[in-house]
Structure 1
Amino acid sequence: MSNVAVESMAAPAAQEQAATRSSLSRIPAAFKLQFTVPSQMIWVPLVVFFGAWGIAIGIGAWIRHVAGDGDIINTGASQATIWCLAFIAAYSASHTFPFSMALSYSRRVFVLGAFLAFATVSAGFGALFSIAILVERATDGFWAESYAFDLPFVTQNAGVLGAGILAGAVCLAAMMFGFFWSILYRRVSLVVLWVIVLALVALMAVTVMVLTQNDWWPHVWDWLAVQSSYSFAGWVLLLTLALTALNYLVIRRAVPTA
């Protein structure tokens, strides 16, 4: 075989490898694309985080003032930032996807960049969650035994660090879940989207009915009881990776309309 023939056969493979390297090298740019508007990914979630915490502190202090000494007050204010970030992830996916296509990013690069951006934000939330626990412990729930982050079912098995890791994992799962629905909307019609939503609701209802009819709820609670924050975070991260793969499958045929 001549040298020219060998070179002609090797050329496509080399071009494919170069294209792959070039595509993956754009992941940092796709990552930065999610932070084009800093207020969207950073400042708004921070306002929600501290705003919800402040409201929870005020309500806890008022309850303690009115009721006096009593049971420890646990609130759900820590969820506010997670729901906020899930919505922001959906909004970001909807508005940055057309720009990513205009910039000639591949869909794989766009999904990986979004995943890394969401993971960074979620890690920040997990760190703030742990710091908030330490602050609440140092002040005895802001002198009212009112806790929004130092929740027993989160900290009792793995402490402050485990609680932060679990919070970050749940936040990442929520963001990828919001991302999924936004991309799915671009992949299918509105009617099909509602059919999928109703099908999922029906599936959840059937699952609850089966668990109730067969009296399997005690087994579910027993399984949850033996999980630590670390192990539960691991299950959540596995679910998140599966959801990320699903996002890529859906986005492959999504239409980047404005």
Structure 2
Amino acid sequence: MNRALTVARLQFVAWPSVIGWPWGILTLSFLINLALFTAIGDTDVEPTTGALASIYVVMFIACINTITQDFPFAIGLGISRRSFYLGNVLQFGVQAIAYAAVLYLLAVVEEATGGWGINLRFFGLPFLWVENPVLRFLGFALPFLLLGFIGIAIALVFKRWGVNGMLTLSTAALVVIGGSAVLATWRGWWPAIGGWFADQSGAALLVGWPALLTLPLAAVSYLVIRRATP
């Protein structure tokens, strides 16, 4: 467990990747949207933006970078694959909780100030808003974990099977996604698919489904890293 804690602390040495870039880009996105909608002025439509996704995208990239760069260094120091994996899970779990807490508070401030005085919805998107405080907090945290484990899984495929593994994964994803799109178009399923998403609550989309997908990804990633080469 001590080795896992060492790995967790190791991640914060490169703080620009895990703290600076995510919050810097999110802050820039927020200021640009705030200035833009302030300049537009009053409209009949409530200003809503999806720029909150920027912090999740940056964290996704950071998780890939953790495996591709830090994994060889950690193994070179004599840290086991198990300790490295557990340390990363611990670090990323704490990070997701802390970041979700900040986003939750910003959403509360946004609501209390009437959308920063211009009715802007940046942190609390209306179509994904969750009334229950606990589920709302998890709605910020679970997507971090899901994207993080997707990033870890992708990086581990590269470390385990190299370029051929990445090409195989990309081809499989293209076949599955493209084939599903062709099938849905052929069978006329798009209205039903759109209706299914429309019927899902914010809690289901941000908490339920991410949790359901994160658990198998975490298990598969652990099995892959046991045979991954630095």
| TM-score for both structures, normalised by structure 2 | 0.89
Counterpart in the other structure of 2:137: 164
Counterpart in the other structure of 1:59: 36
The answer on 1:50 being equivalent to 2:24 is no
Secondary structure of 2:12's counterpart equals: coil
Residue correspondence of structure 1 range 3-82 to structure 2 within 5 A: 24-64=1-41, 68-82=42-56
- Contact 1:133–1:160 at 8 Å: present in 2 too? no
- Contact 1:158–1:228 at 8 Å: present in 2 too? no
- Contact 1:130–1:161 at 8 Å: present in 2 too? no
Deviations 1:152-180 (CA, angstroms, capped at 9, x unpaired)? 1211x435543331121111111121122
- Contact 2:157–2:165 at 8 Å: present in 1 too? no
Counterpart in the other structure of 1:120: 94
Structure with larger Rg: 1
Paired residue type of 1:179: I
Per-residue deviation at 1:35?
1.6
Counterpart in the other structure of 1:253: 227
- Contact 1:129–1:167 at 8 Å: present in 2 too? yes
The answer on 1:216 being equivalent to 2:193 is no
- Distance across 1 between alignment mates of 2:171 and 2:157: 14
Q: Which consecutive unaligned segments of at least 5 residues does structure 1 have?
A: 1-23
- Distance across 1 between alignment mates of 2:96 and 2:2: 23
Per-residue deviation at 1:252?
2.1
Identity %: 27
Aligned-residue Cα RMSD (Å) equals 2.1
Q: Which one of the candidate residues 108, 129, 137 is aligned to 1:134?
A: 108
Q: Which one of the candidate residues 178, 192, 195 is aligned to 2:151?
A: 178
Residue correspondence of structure 1 range 150-161 to structure 2 within 5 A: 150-155=124-129, 157-159=130-132, 161=134
Per-residue deviation at 1:99?
2.0
- Distance across 2 between alignment mates of 1:189 and 1:132: 41
- Distance across 1 between alignment mates of 2:106 and 2:134: 12
- Contact 1:165–1:229 at 8 Å: present in 2 too? no
| TM-score for both structures, normalised by structure 1 | 0.80
Per-residue deviation at 1:217?
3.6
- Distance across 2 between alignment mates of 1:93 and 1:79: 22
